[in-house]
Amino acid sequence: MADNLNRFSTDAFPGELRAAAWLQTLGRIGVACDFPATERAPLHGCASVSVSSRSSVFAKLHGSPQILHSSQDAVGKRNDVVLILALLEGHGQVSVGPESARLLAGDIFLLNPQQDWRLDLQTAFTAIMVELKEAGFLARLMRTGSSDLNKVVTNFGAGGISADFLYSIGEHFDGLSPEDLGQMEASLTSLLIAGMARHGDAEESGDSDAEHSTSVQLGHLRRVCRSIENRLTDPDVSIGEIARIENLSARYIQKLFAGGDTTFGEYVKKRRLDRCRNDLANSALKHLTICELCFRWGFNDAANFSRAFNLEFGISPKAYRATAGKQIALHLQRGRPASNAAVTSEKRRNSRKVHGAASVVHIVAEKDGLRDQFASILSEIADYDVALLPVAEHGNLPANDEHSSLNSVQSKHHYIPVSDKTVHWGYFSQTIKPVVTVHSGDCVTIETLTQHAYDDYERMIKGDPGAESVFHWDAKGKSVDRRGSGPIDGSIYGRGAGEGFGVHICTGPVYVQDAEPGDVLEIRILDIQTRPAAAEEYIGKSFGSNAASWWGFHYHDLLTEPKPREVVTIYEIEHPTHEHCCAKAVYNFRWTPQTDPFGVRHDTIDYPGIPVNHSSIVKNYGVLKNARIPIRPHFGVMAVAPLLDDEVDSVPPGSFGGNLDNWRAAKGATLFLPVAVPGALFSVGDPHASQGDSELCGTAIECSLTGEFQLVLHKKKDIAGTFLDELDHPFLESETEWVIQGLSYANHLVELGANAQADIYKKASLDMAMRDAFRKTRRYLMTAHGLNEDEAISLISVAVDFGITQVVNGNWGVHAIIKKCIFDHPE
């Protein structure tokens, strides 16, 4: 992850602080925000913000419906700043002054921070916004257009490349350094200039009588500058060559630059110096000497380059290269940084705005005004610092006991046996038909199966009607065809329907009557029992499988040959009906290529439920012969349906719960999940006999279990003012502890956008999960227990235990444990 990247989420803040915190974050890019009065859902926003080596601010934003608009703080400051908006997801309307247009995913608009603009985002959205500094030429192009709505045409040419470029920046945003962004900033500016020039040329082609008008002159200047940008590396570029390319006279081009009080040669030198400065600040080019960099951009003499650089920027190239990295890393230092003299610059005169054809002026009649307009295009203004203002202190929050409002209810009991008719394999979806409907307070017993049962058919499937129906697979078909959230035809890897993009067998879903988005579902785990084997030779025993697999943390860090390898260990649960029983290893085997009933070869465990041919493996008995593992049965997956139209991969956990793999979700514990869709649609799966924190090799002792649950619905109106009112993440409670689950991405389906289900496997880290766990813990202590921030931070450091939940589920987990006894001492 880039060192200067700042990640922000409203989830880290108590409800009453979220709006102010979100406004503060948007302020970094010169944007203000209003929230629709009719918006029922709580405000949600997350942002990744990074500053380039040239002080431009790049931000990737996700949020709930809201209105972004120009900030009053931006008015009257600089006239060479351009705000770029690229909408990746969502839709709405953009307005600049009296003009407005529809805003759709894929659109790019260029906004003038000094104008009154407004973005009415009517749906949840994802966007890239860039506050582009030192963009005087681009800003001038915007102001000289016939419309204040500067939309970049993205279906062809430079505009289309700009759209792809911004989309790529968004895809790789977390890994881009300030130097990377500085390089991209220069390229992006050139692309947008080219795109605007193309648009300007199209507009001007219809004006046969406007040869001497300002708009035509500026159009010609755009084209000339575009040609110059493409030839800056050529030391022999000349005004004659550019004139020949653009079909203009050299004298006319000189007049264009004279309109801005400069010359062709001075402009070329300035642009080359800018490019050299950018390269000097780029650590990726530190292996190149200063001479090599200046020759790269068309300078023929290093001494002349050094003098010109010093005159332009007030510092030698060598000194600039030495200090650029320090300036970028300044925010990482502890203590007060050394003070620097303020950089001052002469204020430029404000140029007159051009509004449509009525504002066109001729050079002869308006010579002084034209000079201002051209000078504004070609001028460069000094940088200024961008900083996020410190968060204001807030008073204590009122304490609330989230359990005080829970009412006892008369419950009914339901039973869901496991079968091919009651499971969904490897995915969640709000479109799955519920298998049962319950009311708040009802109890439901749910049978679950481990997806690893086919590792030993004799011990975990044979003779069990429910398991046999789920795992049935022969050359004619599978009882449960879809296994994962991928395409049903297996067109990506050819593994099979669903492609194994999600692996867990989930029983359900359970429809909870009257559950609505904004409510909270409380899942009380009343009991858990292992599922006994049905085969005659194993009656009364229970078994599980542990696969040290290719997705495990260990896989590329093995000591002995063969490397890499996958190893499956079969465990027996000793005395499964006893309260303090253990598991012992029976045997293990190395995975060998298996061919499924459809004829597909699986060199690794790349698809769930592959029948293992035991004649093709070598079983090693006597493994872990002196070890007994105390079992702690729990469910790795407990989830409500996510708010997404598509199927959702069951592997990465999220705000909806899912594959949390926290062994504390055991008998006697209670899990709280925010409801996202009508009916909640609760499902349970991934049963474990035992697991250690981290689930390091990729799996636990995967063992079929049956659980008894009580489902209690908390309506939003009944929990107002309590911690549950703001709950937007899984929250686990036991008799003695509160367990708060942090994830690399608290809500990856929103934060990572359309490619979330692929990108989550590439971008997760324990640092991010720890940060999320800390923020959620701080928020919980402030909201539920009335602590102020300083009190919460001190308590976290001296009394809260953090642990690694798992490092194998794509969205990595870190949990925080708060012991209830800490608050058992009222004054």
pLDDT digits 0-9 by tens, 129-143: 999 988 878 887 787
More confident residue, 134 or 316: 316
What pLDDT does residue 578 have?
65
Mean pLDDT (the chain) is 85
Render pLDDT for 174-193 as a digit per residue (tens, 0 to 9).
888 888 898 888 888 888 88
In the chain, ranges of CATH 2.60.120.10 domains: 6-261+350-378
Q: What pLDDT band is residue 281 in, cutting at 50, 70 and 90?
A: confident
SS3 letters across 748-788: HHHHCHHHHHHHHHHHCCHHHHHHHHHHHHHHHHHHHCCCC
Average of per-residue pLDDT across 563-581: 88
Render pLDDT for 483-537 as a digit per residue (tens, 0 to 9).
999 999 988 999 999 999 999 999 999 999 999 999 999 999 999 999 999 999 9
Report the b/e string of 455-482 with b at 16+ CB within 10 A. Answer: bbbebbbbebebbbbbbbbeeeebbbeb
DSSP one-letter code for 628: -
What pLDDT does residue 438 have?
98
Q: Any alpha helices (H) in 232-335, and if so which ranges?
A: 239-246, 250-258, 264-280, 290-296, 302-313, 317-328
Q: What pLDDT band is residue 86 in, cutting at 50, 70 and 90?
A: very high
Average of per-residue pLDDT across 375-387: 36
- CA 391 remoteness from chain centre: 24
In the chain, ranges of CATH 2.60.120.580 domains: 413-724
Least confident of 291-295, 454-458, 700-704, 738-742: 291-295
What is the distance between the alpha carbons of residues 512 and 680, in angstroms, rounded to a whole number? Answer: 6
Token pair in block for residue 54:
């040239």
Q: What pLDDT band is residue 325 in, cutting at 50, 70 and 90?
A: low
Q: What pLDDT band is residue 548 in, cutting at 50, 70 and 90?
A: very high
* Phi, psi dihedrals of residue 295, rounded to the nearest 5°: -65, -30
What pLDDT does residue 41 have?
59
Residue pair 93/101 in contact (Cβ under 8 Å)? The answer is: yes
Render pLDDT for 334-364 as a digit per residue (tens, 0 to 9).
333 333 433 333 332 333 233 333 332 333 3
Distances (CA, A) of 607 to 425, 486, 500, 595, 687: 11, 12, 5, 11, 18
Q: What pLDDT band is residue 3 in, cutting at 50, 70 and 90?
A: low
Average of per-residue pLDDT across 381-398: 29
Render pLDDT for 685-704 as a digit per residue (tens, 0 to 9).
999 999 999 999 999 999 99
Average of per-residue pLDDT across 788-802: 98
Average of per-residue pLDDT across 135-156: 79
In the chain, ranges of CATH 3.10.28.20 domains: 736-827
Q: What pLDDT band is residue 822 in, cutting at 50, 70 and 90?
A: very high
What pLDDT does residue 215 have?
60
Q: 413-724 belongs to which homologous superfamily?
A: Acetamidase/Formamidase-like domains (2.60.120.580)
Least confident of 1-5, 69-73, 437-441, 465-469: 1-5
What pLDDT does residue 2 have?
53
Torsion of CA 233, 236, 239, 243, to 10 degrees: -80
Report the b/e string of 758-791 with b at 16+ CB within 10 A. Answer: ebbeebbeeebbbbbbbbbbbbbbbbbbebebee
Rg (CA), the chain: 32
What pLDDT does residue 140 have?
79
Q: Among 51, 78, 59, 72, which residue's Cα sits nearest to residue 8?
A: 59
Predicted confidence (pLDDT) at residue 4 exceeds the cutoff of 90: no
DSSP one-letter code for 71: -
Q: Which three-class secondary structure state does DSSP give residue 572?
A: strand
Q: What pLDDT band is residue 669 in, cutting at 50, 70 and 90?
A: very high
Average of per-residue pLDDT across 9-22: 88
CATH number of the domain at 736-827, please?
A: 3.10.28.20
What pLDDT does residue 136 have?
79
What pLDDT does residue 512 have?
98
The third-level CATH classification (topology) of the domain covering 6-261+350-378 is Jelly Rolls (2.60.120)
What pLDDT does residue 672 have?
99
Torsion of CA 509, 510, 512, 515, to 10 degrees: -10
Q: Among 671, 640, 643, 675, which residue's Cα sits nearest to residue 518?
A: 675
Residue pair 702/510 in contact (Cβ under 8 Å)? The answer is: no
Predicted confidence (pLDDT) at residue 771 exceeds the cutoff of 90: yes
